Amino acid sequence: MPIGVFTMVGIYIIAWWTVLFAVLPLGTSRETHEPPTDGTQWGAPTTPNLKKKFVTTTWVSALVWIFVMVLIFTGWLPLPNFANGPAV
């Protein structure tokens, strides 16, 4: 096994956060030039749909994680061997 379980979980968490930041701006266009009257910021979306974005982030990052695991386990993405110490 080229990597351990903790490394696999770490790769998934990194993929999840990366995908989240890519998904967050989708569907949040708010092109009104009137000042907000409800105390929100100018750039805040009216309906952020966070639950939908978290679900989308979870399954898209699972696909990214599976792709990375296939690359690692088939040898297309070789990993360095740090167990033998530095190469001199």
pLDDT digits (tens, 9 = 90+) for 31-68: 667 777 777 777 777 778 899 999 999 999 999 999 99
DSSP state of 76: S
2 or 29: whose pLDDT is higher? 2
Q: Give the separation between CA 19 and CA 82, rounded to whole angstroms.
A: 29
Q: What is the pLDDT of residue 86?
A: 67
Distances (CA, A) of 9 to 16, 22, 57, 86: 10, 20, 16, 26
In terms of pTM, does the model score above 0.95? no
**Count of other CB atoms within 10 angstroms of residue 61:** 22
Distances (CA, A) of 18 to 14, 57, 72: 6, 9, 19
**Count of other CB atoms within 10 angstroms of residue 79:** 10
Q: What is the pLDDT of residue 57?
A: 97
Taking the domains of the chain in order of start, what are their residue ranges?
Answer: 5-74
As given in the structure block, the two tokens for residue 79 are: 């990993």
